[in-house]
A and B are shown apart, each in its own frame.
Chain A
Amino acid sequence: MAEFVQLLVSGLATGAIYALAAMGFTLLWQTSQTINFAQGEFVMLPAFIMLSAIKLFGLPLYAAFGVSLLVSALLLGFGFKRLLVDPMIRHGVLPLVIATIALGIFLKEGVKLVYGAEALPFPEALPQGIWRFASVSVTVNDIGVLLLVFAMVLALQGFLSRTTTGRAMQAVAQNPDTARILGIDVPRMITYTFLVNAALVSVAALLITPVYLAKFDNGESIGLIAFIAAIVGGFNQIRGALVGGLLIGVIDNLSGAYISAAYREAFPLLLLIAVILFRPQGLLGRAEERRV
């Protein structure tokens, strides 16, 4: 029982980090029909930006995180939208998807070229240590991750539902044609979601890289899991992406411990297949209307 709770908590913590990437993924889809297959690399890159800021300027980790937040906003937010999404979306969703796949490969290989193929150590973002409650022990890091992610989710939901700008962003996601008719600055709202995504992937990088170490191909698994989490939760719901991320983190951890460590990566995919078969709109999703 104690082991189960430990696995549950650490699964939730990892899942919460996946959820950050999955929520960003969902946001981009909602507002701009961008399916970002470079999302995993978007989590990988900020880790290297932070490492560079630490090495080049001797910054402490949190200052380096600030730098990476700015650089990510510029490159993965603004630059991504202007240089890749805006020119490609005119040709349709699929060409844009292919372009994001290309971008992912470019980022991965670019990082490999500059930083090499070795996994680099990454400083811990949160205090370490173990808390014991009766026979159950959980790491301070896992609890910290969970608290931090939930604070971010609350802040994001609060921004989207309690501010006029946030509601205008929702409006663009729900009905862009009408948003335009009301004089809502649709391109600006879309840019905001790209900036929010840049912030989400930066935080995800800060939290996950101490576990995975900084490696050029980290994005492969993170991107895949974020994608699965988004679909499992319901592609059009931020809440869904959160639930999807948490669920996959837990399933991954429990199946690895109790069923088969060798096949643990298959279980999230089984979940994906089950959801697609039995609840194609996702756990929290609503069926999407196809407008012509």
Chain B
Amino acid sequence: MATDSILTLAGVVAGYGKLTVLNGVDLRVAEGSITTMIGPNGAGKSTVLKTVFGLLRPTAGEIRFRGQAIAGLSQRALLSLGLAYVPQGRNLFPELTVRHNLELGGITLGDRKRLERRIDAVMGRFPRLLERADAQASTLSGGEQKMLEIGRALLLEPTLLLIDEPSIGLAPKLVGEVFAILRELRESGVTILMVEQNAKAALAVSDDALVLEQGCLAFAAPAAETLEDPKVHALFLGGGLEDGAGGNSAQAE
């Protein structure tokens, strides 16, 4: 397992100003997997992604991508190493067209011809984006917008995709589509580290699960096992099993 980790965090401490959110996170993401982080609100799931992508600077600990220490690198450097990040919520440039949103995803390429080819490749993968190529991003439906965000993150052909709450605000049918896209990406060799509130659906498409609690890794296990685990079920997957009475406050938000 240790040899095929694409990403490892060891004792990572990070937060916002004086507020420490991650209290020494240790975790590994296996190459070629979909790994989903679950846990109550405030456990630090999104903060892990932000810290890995250099938006927060860890005050202690180590982050390695393919063995290389990456803490403190610029986004440009991380992108060129093969990381990409799709944050939570709306992340498009609403007044630019679909094509121009994609173009900016590849702005660090520098090579116009290669950029055009990559844009064509992404549009080939998501025909809907090709149809709407010249429409303003703000006119896309919620599902199309998420597709565009993912497509844009794929423009540099990343090997590790960090994605935060891809299903938020989407209709159930679209949630399935987004997870299917992630599954396809995994088949084509992209490793995915995902944060998802919709834990049941996310774990169903995941290989591994990481459970975070209060800024620490509580435990890591194959996703299938985690789905069966009655304690996880009670705490994070909401309902179904009987033993969670009163212990559900963390999930209530």
Contact = CB atoms under 8 A, between A and B. Distances in A.
Interface residues of B, number: 21
Given A181-B75, A183-B75, A183-B76, A174 B96 contact: yes
Interface of B: 53, 55, 74-76, 79, 85, 87, 91-96, 100, 103-105, 107-108, 152
User: What band does the interface of chain A fall in when counting residues whose beta carbon is under 8 Å from B?
Assistant: 10 to 19
B105 to A, nearest CB: 5
18 contacts: A167-B96, A167-B100, A168-B104, A170-B93, A174-B93, A174-B94, A175-B92, A175-B93, A179-B104, A180-B55, A181-B55, A181-B85, A181-B87, A182-B75, A182-B105, A183-B74, A183-B107, A184-B107
Given A167-B100, A168-B104, A183-B107, 8 more contacts: A167-B104, A170-B96, A171-B93, A177-B91, A179-B104, A181-B87, A181-B91, A182-B108
Contacts of A171: 93, 96, 104
A75 to B, nearest CB: 29
A164 B85 CA distance: 21
A189 B99 CA distance: 20
A178 interface: yes
Contacts of A181: 53, 55, 75, 85, 87, 91
A181 B108 CA distance: 11
A178 B79 contact: no
B195 to A, nearest CB: 15
Contacts, number: 55
Interface string A181-221: 11111000000000000000000000000000000000000
A180 B53 CA distance: 11
Nearest to B86: A181
Contacts of A183: 74-76, 79, 107-108
A157 to B, nearest CB: 13
A167 B92 contact: no
B52 to A, nearest CB: 12
A177 B91 CA distance: 8
A191 to B, nearest CB: 16
A185 B79 CA distance: 13
Contacts of B93: 170-171, 174-175, 178-179
A265 to B, nearest CB: 35
A175 B89 CA distance: 12
Contacts of B105: 182
A182 B95 contact: no
B5 to A, nearest CB: 24
Given A180-B75, A183-B75, A164 B91 contact: no
Nearest to B50: A181
